């Protein structure tokens, strides 16, 4: 069963409680999302490391419940 947008947002909010998160369903199928996450947790980290933290926060749901996730990560301005 695909991951709902609400479930995805909840998982990301749990992993990054101080963050501003915006989720977009790219295909309308509940299987392809874009997430924009602005968090102080990313300060000083490479883009790759930021994305690794996001995947870790999702607890292995990528490739299973969550088929595709386009990520845009940054720190607060």
CATH 3.30.300.90 fits 5-74, yes or no: yes
CA dihedral (44, 25, 23, 53) positive or negative: negative
Decide if 2 contacts 30 (C-beta within 8 A).
yes
Q: Does the model's pTM come out above 0.85?
A: yes
pLDDT tens for the chain, residues 1 to 77: 778 899 999 999 999 999 999 999 998 877 889 999 999 999 999 999 999 999 999 987 877 778 889 999 999 98
List the strands of the sheet with 20-25, edge to edge: 20-25, 32-38, 68-74
Domain ranges of the chain: 5-74
């Amino acid at each position: 069963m695909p991951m709902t947008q609400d479930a995805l947002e909840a998982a990301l909010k749990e992993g990054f409680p101080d963050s501003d998160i915006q989720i977009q369903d790219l295909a309308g199928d509940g299987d392809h999302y874009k997430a924009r996450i602005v968090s102080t947790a990313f300060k000083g980290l490479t883009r790759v490391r930021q994305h690794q933290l996001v995947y870790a926060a999702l607890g292995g749901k990528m490739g299973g419940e969550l088929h595709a996730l386009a990520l845009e990560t940054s720190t607060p301005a």
